[in-house]
Amino acid sequence: MTDAEIIDLVERNLFAIAPEFEGEVIEPETPFRDQFEIDSMDFLNFIIGLHNETKIDIPEADYPRMETLTGCTTYLREKIAI
């Protein structure tokens, strides 16, 4: 999976939980919660969506790595390569 495909995956799942922000530019280094005003339940649903599409288990201890577009891309690239 390329970085562009991972970014598309992240965007698709992020906008699934926050459809009112679809089309907005995602700042790569800014936490999603700050950009899109999502709460902890929205974030959990985002993680579940990523898991459902990738079958990658994302333990709670790794959630901080998933808070930005850059973090998600790096994390998922590492896990897909395993």
Question: What confidence tens digit (pLDDT) does each residue in 4-59 have?
Answer: 999 999 999 999 999 999 888 999 999 999 999 899 999 999 999 999 999 999 99
Give 3-state DSSP helix, strand, coil % of the chain, rounded to 5. 70, 0, 30
Q: Which CATH number fits domain 3-81: 1.10.1200.10, 2.30.110.10, 1.50.10.10, 3.90.480.20?
A: 1.10.1200.10
pLDDT confidence of residue 57: 96
pLDDT confidence of residue 19: 92
pLDDT confidence of residue 54: 95
Q: What is the pTM of this model?
A: 0.92
CB atoms within 10 A of CB 50: 22
pLDDT confidence of residue 1: 87
pLDDT confidence of residue 82: 62
